[in-house]
């Protein structure tokens, strides 16, 4: 009887499985299929064409660079926030959680327009930097990579904070005390205790944000425009504007595999380091 | 006080409007093992956290080997702690846990390896060095925690209820084992516990705490035989208590009128004060009514119950229906049975008097 | 190089909003498509109706000026199916044997495809007398379609930031507008027109010649890069930036869009450069085999009549197509140069690809 229990429990995941197969797995297979099957049968010509163009390599580089920077900004801002969230209690924690989750209900387009107001040359950020003397004259933030990264990080921040928080809140606070009583200074505790313990949360947060950031389309369209092409904007244009499904499938497939490869490789490297130390 | 390793003076701490420590002084000699004993909420854990630097006192100073460490952060104090839940690092192995504090200091890898091996050997966990923490038994976890704390050679070791997570058999075993280890290392130790037996078994001296203050700080024997307050009497061990009122003092001998008749004690009270006479139950002798009592304190009572406790007996006596007296004995005197009228008597030294007539 | 099917031509040539399928348009388009694929004739035949496959961007003046006048005169109900050019083309393709659209409004490049597929009837002076009064260059492919208005492309500027109206396209390249200029993306039709103007400025050739010299166009745009704040695909974003003062100029601003912002009180003005400019594609045609052919002809005839043209051009700040009608005040001397849309269709994809490379950050 007990042998069958796991099977029954697995059945609970069936609706999700069916749903994902229909709306995700099958379309992705079709997409990948289309990139390999042209009018003249199976071929990798679209890949060769795409990858033999230097400009497209720059597009791939842009995509990964922006995603990596966005992930980094999210991590730097998100980790302390998650820490504060895990330390806070009761009402303060509830307010913090609402403040983190509620912005998810604001549409990306609204946020992009808000960023336009915040980042423009007479906007809040520039005024602040001028007032504090960091800047002598207003500099361009909008429609630059910096603006794009800041905007994207703002939108994806909850996806970094929440996984890290969910791990941090499970860590026994007396471990920090124990480390301190062993003579370990704060910086040492951070790198040898806090970070390794939070590693699984950080890996998932980074994977989610990186995946979202490599595949974002609306955000770069609004915050940087078509002068900074990424794989998703190229893909969208291939489908929507040029009606070239094969090109679009090719770029989408390249994006998919690059993202999966980088996320898995990073997770593997971190885990391996963790085991060694 | 040259020899004091730990010196706490005038420590006060309040959380909001609740006072947790109200001016605690404590001095622990080099190599001494002392216990902070008291019920939950008495402030013993707060005092431990203040000593470790995990909490700052509102007022008062903490000195370690003569140096004021009141404002020093935890990691610069050199005070080791074995936590109640052991707080072992779950991502590290047994040996890595022990090495953690050593690695934080600039110590060569070879020295670290040697020190870790030494302390693992001390706690007899050499064979488990590369095991992950998960899967260790409670006793093994405690030994890792002790080895980890000792490995960095602290000046003082604090043990925060270290045995509470263990079952009774293992607890007794570990108490002896821990005492052996600490004696071998020769480290000054403060144990925080609510378990009087643990404190009595392990300590050179016990500080009994109540409501944020130390009521008595003395050797275990003294705490037991001469409790300084009614609280210490009640918290440590059993006692037989009889309510009474003081009468006149003759030749230094205070007469106390009780429901069992007049009792005497070497104590000074104004006549007419309500008091409680207390005797440790194993200090009471019994004899059948016809024999001549050898002491000034004697009373007769009817035996109502005999409770067998393995190595000893608890006998319950009653007089005029409502007063119950407890006597502890290794054996039951011949001919004594439930219903018998018995003379109970004890020496003057064993007669303790506390103010107030509540039993 | 991706092949140039009629499909993507239509999408590319869409008026100014190539990628936005806003919900209203989508619903209107989807409903229209659905009813078209059902049995349109049964639903439509009961009353005297004329269905116009229209451009949704032309909705406001159509409903306020054109349709009431036409309905009153001919006692007919006009169904205004406002959508995108491409959808209109699809409606005609799907109902080739039994058209329900009588008149169709589409961008000029899509018209080329429709002509090639034989979906249109020629507009003759016999059926549409006012066609004789059209200005030159506005009757295409022997009358297969005509232009019904000339919305033009100018320089929109923020009146608070720019006090002297830019009188020439050359001013857009002035250093004082460093990172203050918004260009339309080449994905937008007005972006193509901006490209031609760049070529004109580089070469000094006549506009008709300049639009063939795209190398020069890109050379000029690359020179201009320091001035470019961004290139827009969403006009709302561009005008937001302009009105907030982050941008000073939108070079390649469609007259109807800029004037609509201005009329809502935005600090925006549109300048008509002295070199002249181009007009946005805005064609109208008779559907071959469509119902009510006489009414259809009458609809186009009324639309290009002197009376309607003067009203509509005044309302939209576009140039009238009827040569007997005067241009709105201030636009009397504005020269509109013809665009070779066939050339645009042929080369658009390569231009877009080149734009990515040469104008990238």
Average the pLDDT over B164-187 and give the result: 90
CB within 8 Å: B52 and A177: yes
- Cβ neighbours of C11 in A, within 8 Å: 240-241, 243
Closest-CA distance of chain C to residue A112, Å: 10
Does residue A226 carry a pLDDT above 70? yes
Average the pLDDT over B78-83 and give the result: 95
Average pLDDT value for chain C: 85
CB within 8 Å: B83 and A177: yes
Option in A178, A185, A189 nearest B83 (CB): A178
**Residues above pLDDT 70, as percent of chain B:** 96
Does residue C6 carry a pLDDT above 50? no
CB within 8 Å: A182 and B85: no
Does residue B288 carry a pLDDT above 80? no
- What are residue C334's phi and psi, to 5 degrees? -70, 125
CB within 8 Å: A228 and C359: no
Option in C186, C349, C360 nearest A242 (CB): C349
Option in A55, A113, A225 nearest C240 (CB): A113
For residue A171, give the chain B residue with the closest CA.
Answer: B90
For residue B132, give the chain A residue with the closest CA.
Answer: A275
CB within 8 Å: A181 and B85: no
10 Å CB burial of residue A145 (0-12, 13-18, 19+) is middle
The order of strands in the sheet holding B253-258 is: B261-265, B253-258, B240-250, B274-279, B352-355
**Which residues sit opposite A37 in a β-bridge?**
A42
What is the separation of C-alpha C37 from the centre of its chain, rounded to a whole number of angstroms? 28
**Residue C22: per-residue pLDDT:** 40
What is the separation of C-alpha C161 from the centre of its chain, rounded to a whole number of angstroms? 28
Least confident of A128-137, A235-244, C271-280: A235-244
Closest-CA distance of chain A to residue C113, Å: 16
Four-CA torsion A56, A60, A65, A71, nearest 10 degrees: 150
Mutation for testing the C interface, residue in A122, A241, A247, A248 having most C CBs under 10 Å? A241
pLDDT in tens, B106-162: 889 999 999 999 999 999 999 999 999 988 998 999 999 999 999 999 999 999 999
Separation of alpha carbons C191 and C136, rounded Å: 24
Domain coordinates of chain C in residue numbers? 49-150+280-316, 153-278+340-358
Closest-CA distance of chain A to residue B210, Å: 25
Could you tell me which residue, B82 or A38, shows the higher pLDDT? Answer: B82
First to last CA, chain C: 23
For residue C187, give the chain A residue with the closest CA.
Answer: A241
Average the pLDDT over C327-336 and give the result: 88
Check: CB of residue C166 under 8 Å from CB of residue C249: yes
pLDDT in tens, C10-57: 333 333 333 333 444 444 444 444 444 444 444 444 468 999 998 887
pLDDT in tens, B207-246: 999 999 999 999 999 999 999 999 999 999 989 988 889 9
For residue A117, give the chain C residue with the closest CA.
Answer: C244
Separation of alpha carbons A180 and B78, rounded Å: 10
Chains that touch B (3 or more CB pairs under 8 A): A
Mutation for testing the A interface, residue in B69, B88, B89 having most A CBs under 10 Å? B89
Check: CB of residue C84 under 8 Å from CB of residue C14: yes
Separation of alpha carbons C92 and C102, rounded Å: 10
CB within 8 Å: A184 and B83: no
Closest-CA distance of chain C to residue A51, Å: 14
Q: Does C116 touch chain A (CB under 8 A)?
A: no
Strands (E), chain C: 49-55, 77-83, 103-106, 120-121, 139-140, 145-147, 153-158, 181-184, 228-232, 249-254, 268-271, 277-278, 283-287, 336-337
Q: Which residues contact A2 (CB under 8 A, 6 or more apart)?
A: none
Helix (H, G, I), strand (E, B) or coil at B7: strand
- Cβ neighbours of B53 in A, within 8 Å: 180
**Residue B289: per-residue pLDDT:** 60
pLDDT in tens, B289-299: 666 666 778 88
Residues 258-287 of B with CB under 8 A from A: none
Q: Quick one: tokens of B170? A: 């293992």
Q: Does B83 touch chain A (CB under 8 A)?
A: yes
Average pLDDT value for chain A: 89
Chains A vs B: touching, with 3+ CB pairs under 8 Å?
Answer: yes
Does residue C3 carry a pLDDT above 60? no
- CATH T-level fold of C153-278+340-358: D-Maltodextrin-Binding Protein; domain 2 (3.40.190)
Check: CB of residue A105 under 8 Å from CB of residue A111: no
Interface of A with C (CB under 8 A): 55, 58, 113, 116-117, 120-122, 140, 142-145, 221-222, 224-229, 236-238, 240-244, 247
Average the pLDDT over C339-355 and give the result: 88
Q: Which residues contact A11 (CB under 8 A, 6 or more apart)?
A: none
- Cβ neighbours of B88 in A, within 8 Å: 178
- What are residue C42's phi and psi, to 5 degrees? -65, -40
Same fold, C49-150+280-316 and C153-278+340-358: yes
Q: Does B148 touch chain A (CB under 8 A)?
A: yes
Q: Considering the domain C49-150+280-316 in this protein, what is its CATH number?
A: 3.40.190.10
Option in A175, A183, A196 nearest B101 (CB): A183
Does residue A41 carry a pLDDT above 50? yes
């Amino acid at each position: 009887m007990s042998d069958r229990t796991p099977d029954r429990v697995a059945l609970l995941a069936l609706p999700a499985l069916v749903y994902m197969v229909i709306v995700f797995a099958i379309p992705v297979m079709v997409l990948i299929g289309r990139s390999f099957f042209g009018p003249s049968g199976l071929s990798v010509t679209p890949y060769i064409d795409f990858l033999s163009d230097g400009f497209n390599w720059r597009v791939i580089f842009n995509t990964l660079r922006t995603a990596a920077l966005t992930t980094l900004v999210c991590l730097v801002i998100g980790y302390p926030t998650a820490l504060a969230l895990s330390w806070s209690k009761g009402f303060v924690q509830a307010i913090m959680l609402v403040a983190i989750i509620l912005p998810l209900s604001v549409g990306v387009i609204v946020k992009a327009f808000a960023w336009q107001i915040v980042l423009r040359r007479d906007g809040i950020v520039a005024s602040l930097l001028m007032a504090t003397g960091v800047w002598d004259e207003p500099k361009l933030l909008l429609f630059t990579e910096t603006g794009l990264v800041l905007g994207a990080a703002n939108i994806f921040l909850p996806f970094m904070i929440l996984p890290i928080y969910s791990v941090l809140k499970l860590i026994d606070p007396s471990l920090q005390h124990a480390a301190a009583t062993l003579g370990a200074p704060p910086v040492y505790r951070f790198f040898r205790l806090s970070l390794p313990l939070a590693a699984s949360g950080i890996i998932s947060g980074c994977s989610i944000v990186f995946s979202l950031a490599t595949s974002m389309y609306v955000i770069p369209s609004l915050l940087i425009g078509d002068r900074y092409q990424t794989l998703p904007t190229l893909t969208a244009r291939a489908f929507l504007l040029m009606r070239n499904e094969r090109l679009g499938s090719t770029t989408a497939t390249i994006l998919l595999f690059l993202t999966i490869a980088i996320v898995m490789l990073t997770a593997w490297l971190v885990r391996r380091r963790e085991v060694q130390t | 006080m040259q020899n004091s390793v730990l010196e706490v003076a005038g420590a006060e701490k309040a959380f909001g409007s609740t006072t947790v420590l109200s001016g605690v002084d404590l001095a622990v000699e080099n190599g001494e093992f002392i216990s902070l004993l008291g019920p939950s909420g008495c402030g013993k854990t707060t005092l431990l956290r203040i000593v470790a630097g995990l909490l700052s006192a509102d007022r008062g100073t903490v000195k370690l080997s003569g140096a004021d460490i009141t404002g020093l952060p935890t990691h610069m104090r050199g005070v080791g702690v074995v936590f109640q839940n052991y707080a072992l690092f779950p991502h590290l192995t047994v040996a890595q846990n022990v090495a953690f504090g050593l690695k934080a200091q600039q110590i060569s890898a070879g020295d670290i390896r040697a020190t870790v091996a030494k302390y693992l050997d001390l706690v007899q966990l050499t064979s488990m060095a590369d095991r992950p923490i998960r899967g260790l038994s409670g006793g093994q976890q405690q030994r890792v925690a002790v080895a980890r704390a000792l490995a960095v050679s602290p000046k003082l070791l604090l043990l925060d209820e270290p045995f509470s997570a263990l079952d009774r058999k293992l607890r007794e075993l570990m108490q002896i084992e821990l005492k052996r280890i600490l004696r071998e290392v020769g480290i000054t130790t403060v144990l925080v516990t609510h378990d009087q037996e643990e404190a009595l078994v392990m300590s050179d001296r016990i500080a009994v705490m109540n409501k944020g203050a130390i009521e008595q700080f003395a050797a275990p024997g003294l705490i037991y035989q001469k409790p300084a307050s009614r609280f210490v009497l009640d918290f440590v061990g059993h006692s037989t208590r009889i309510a009474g009122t003081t009468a006149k003092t003759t030749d230094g001998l205070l007469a106390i009128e009780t429901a069992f008749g007049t009792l005497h004690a070497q104590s000074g009270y104004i006549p007419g004060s309500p008091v409680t006479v207390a005797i440790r139950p194993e200090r009471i002798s019994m004899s059948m009514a016809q024999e001549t009592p050898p002491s000034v304190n004697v009373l007769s009572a009817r035996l109502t119950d005999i409770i067998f406790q393995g190595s000893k007996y608890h006998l319950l006596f009653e007089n005029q229906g409502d007063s119950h007296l407890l006597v502890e004995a290794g054996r039951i005197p011949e001919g004594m049975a439930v219903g018998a009228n018995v003379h109970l008597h004890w020496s003057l030294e064993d007669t303790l008097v506390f103010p107030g007539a509540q039993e | 190089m991706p092949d140039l099917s009629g499909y993507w031509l239509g999408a590319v040539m869409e008026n100014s909003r190539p990628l936005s399928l806003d919900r209203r348009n989508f619903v209107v388009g989807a409903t229209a498509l659905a009813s078209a694929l059902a049995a349109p004739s049964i639903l439509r035949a009961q009353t005297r109706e004329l269905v116009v496959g229209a451009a949704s961007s032309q909705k406001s003046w159509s409903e306020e000026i054109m349709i009431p006048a036409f309905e009153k005169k001919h006692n007919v109900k006009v169904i205004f199916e406002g959508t995108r050019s491409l959808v209109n083309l699809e409606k005609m393709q799907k109902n080739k044997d039994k058209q329900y659209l009588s008149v169709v409004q589409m961008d000029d490049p899509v018209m080329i495809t429709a002509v090639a597929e034989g979906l249109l009837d020629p507009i003759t002076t016999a059926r549409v007398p006012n066609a004789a009064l059209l200005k030159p260059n506005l009757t295409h492919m022997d009358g297969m379609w005509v232009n019904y208005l000339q919305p033009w492309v100018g320089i929109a500027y923020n009146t608070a930031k720019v006090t002297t109206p830019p009188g020439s396209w050359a001013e857009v390249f002035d250093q004082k507008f460093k990172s203050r200029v918004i260009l339309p993306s080449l994905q937008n039709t007005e972006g193509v027109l901006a490209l031609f103007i760049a070529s004109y400025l580089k070469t000094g050739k006549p506009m008709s010649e300049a639009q063939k010299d795209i190398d020069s166009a890109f050379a000029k745009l690359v020179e201009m890069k320091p001035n470019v704040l961004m290139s827009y695909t969403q006009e709302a974003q561009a005008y937001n930036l302009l009105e907030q003062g982050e941008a000073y100029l939108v070079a390649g601003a469609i007259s109807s869009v800029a004037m609509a912002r201005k009329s809502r009180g935005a600090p925006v003005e549109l300048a008509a450069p002295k070199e002249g400019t181009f007009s946005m594609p805005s064609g109208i045609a008779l559907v071959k085999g469509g119902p009510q052919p006489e009414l259809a002809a009458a609809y186009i005839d009324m639309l290009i009549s002197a009376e309607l043209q003067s009203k509509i051009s005044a309302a939209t700040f576009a140039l009238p197509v009827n040569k007997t009608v005067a241009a709105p005040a201030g636009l009397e001397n504005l020269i509109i140069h013809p665009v070779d849309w066939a050339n645009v269709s042929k080369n658009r994809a390569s231009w877009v690809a080149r734009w990515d490379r040469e104008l990238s950050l």
